Amino acid sequence: MRGLHADTGYLLYRLGLRSGQLFNACLQESGVRLRHYAVLRFLATSEGALQRELSTRLGYDPSAIVGLVDDLEKQGFAERRPSPDDRRSRIVALTEKGRAFLRDTDEAGQRVTNELLAPLDPADREALHALLLRIAEDGLN
């Protein structure tokens, strides 16, 4: 019988959990969790998105997106705006305060990554990132 560490899927799962724990610890004081951060990072790459698009692109349940956006609005990091294409729909957009928050957390995110990848040299880190990106582009779209 194979051990758990022989299973690549299990290792990815465990490393994902550890990454989330470390990153949530860095974000703890701000009141933002990793799920909020993912929404903010996605919004930073767009002019805004419908909640259903956030749900689809991030892989979150639509009801979870509503709560996450509510939380981000309360903190002033995101806002809902009327959609120019459909007056019944709302577009979620990043605010300037949200952009500033992301800039302020860049260093913390890099520290988490460095802690997780400490056993790897720079070339291995680059190779790992390229491989994960290839998997993500194929499997998460």
CATH of the domain at 57: 1.10.10.10
Is 3 domain-assigned? no
1 found inside a domain: no
* Nearest of 47, 30, 45, 3 to residue 109 by alpha carbon: 30
What domain range includes position 56?
8-139
Average predicted confidence (pLDDT) for the chain: 90
Six-digit token string for 79 = 């806002």
CA dist., res. 1 & res. 51, Å (int): 45
* Within a domain: 65: yes
pTM greater than the 0.85 cutoff: no
3-state secondary structure of 81: strand
pLDDT per residue as tens digits for the range 102-118 = 998 988 889 889 999 99
At residue 84, the pLDDT reads: 85
Residue 86 is assigned to a structural domain of this protein: yes
pLDDT recorded at residue 102:
95
Give the chain's domain count: 1
Residue 2 lies inside a defined structural domain of this protein: no
Read off the pLDDT band of 60 (50, 70, 90): very high
